[in-house]
């Protein structure tokens, strides 16, 4: 039975946020990737599009989420469905760290507005 303990999760940091990878190819996942996201207060992640659908579920804190130019405040329990090609941005306007759980298909790639392509290791 594949179980990934917190001590086995791999932590990555990018754009001021922390991504703690639990489900990935390296842990035996075959289709899905899942991670805990930690977004410190005052952090604004760069807008980007994703190649695969991504489900972003807020566990703690409060965030401003922008999808294709429309901004919404989300609170614990809210889930955001980010479709492939949707311009997505996240901002934490508070002074507390927000915690999320994110799931997507393995192999997700992100494209920043300047054209930079990123293959996040926590989604592979």
* Residue 115 located in a structural domain: yes
* Residue 117 located in a structural domain: yes
**Contact partners, residue 72, CB within 8 Å, separation at least 6:** 64, 65, 66
pLDDT score, position 124 = 84
Give the pLDDT confidence of 20-32 residue by residue, as tens digits: 999 999 999 999 9
* Residue 14 located in a structural domain: yes
For residue 53, the enclosing domain spans 9-123
Split into its structural domains, the chain has a count of 1
* Residue 20 located in a structural domain: yes
Q: Averaged over 102-109, what is the pLDDT?
A: 96
pTM: 0.92
Residue 1 predicted with pLDDT over 80? no
Can you spell out the DSSP letters for 36-56?
EEEE-TT-BPPPEEESS-EEE
* Residue 2 located in a structural domain: no
- Answer yes or no: are the C-beta atoms of 53 and 84 closer than 8 Å: yes
* Residue 69 located in a structural domain: yes
| Residues 41, 18: Cα–Cα separation, whole Å | 12
Give the pLDDT confidence of 43-85 residue by residue, as tens digits: 999 999 999 999 999 999 999 999 999 999 999 999 999 999 9
* Residue 4 located in a structural domain: no
Exposed, middle or buried by CB within 10 Å (0-12, 13-18, 19+), for 6? exposed
CATH of the domain at 107: 2.60.120.10
Reported confidence tier of residue 121, pLDDT bands at 50, 70, 90: very high
* Residue 56 located in a structural domain: yes
Q: How many CB atoms lie within 10 A of CB 36?
A: 18
pLDDT score, position 104 = 97
pLDDT score, position 112 = 96
């Amino acid at each position: 039975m594949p179980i990934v303990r917190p001590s086995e999760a791999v932590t990555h940091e990018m754009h001021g946020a922390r991504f703690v990878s639990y489900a990935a190819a390296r842990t035996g996942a075959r289709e899905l990737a899942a991670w805990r996201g930690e977004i410190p207060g005052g952090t604004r992640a760069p807008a980007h599009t994703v190649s695969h659908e991504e489900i972003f579920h807020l566990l703690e804190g409060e965030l401003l989420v922008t999808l294709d130019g429309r901004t919404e405040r989300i609170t614990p329990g809210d889930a955001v469905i980010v479709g492939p090609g949707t311009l997505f941005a996240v901002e934490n306007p508070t002074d507390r760290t927000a915690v999320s759980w994110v799931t997507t298909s393995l192999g997700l790639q992100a494209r920043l507005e300047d054209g930079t392509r990123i293959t996040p290791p926590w989604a592979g």
